[in-house]
């Protein structure tokens, strides 16, 4: 029902507002879609290390579509071969 969906949405919003993440103690690779606005600096407050940003084709919602998946697979391979 609509009321149930609204209550779930409300509970999710409350959980997001109250969640406090711990600082990650290492370096990260941030994968960003080329069509995204890209707020990569927003991540630095959660990372106690360097952030390497890698850009892949597509948008935030489309970067895992079949037409772009080869680029992400190649990026994963590069990142795990280090």
For 2, phi and psi rounded to 5 degrees?
-65, -40
Tokens, residue 12: 């999710």
Closest CA to 46 of 32, 17, 18, 26: 26
User: Which pLDDT band holds residue 3 (cuts at 50, 70, 90)?
Assistant: very high
Which pLDDT value is given to residue 82? Answer: 60
For residue 22, pLDDT beyond 80: yes
Which pLDDT value is given to residue 5? Answer: 95
């Amino acid at each position: 029902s609509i009321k149930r969906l609204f209550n779930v949405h409300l509970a999710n919003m409350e959980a997001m507002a109250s969640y406090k993440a711990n600082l990650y103690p290492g370096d990260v690779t941030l994968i960003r879609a080329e069509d995204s606005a890209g707020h990569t600096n927003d991540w630095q407050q959660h990372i106690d290390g360097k952030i390497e940003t890698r850009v892949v084709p597509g948008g935030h919602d489309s970067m895992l579509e079949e037409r772009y998946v080869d680029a992400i697979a190649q990026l994963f391979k590069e990142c795990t071969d280090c």
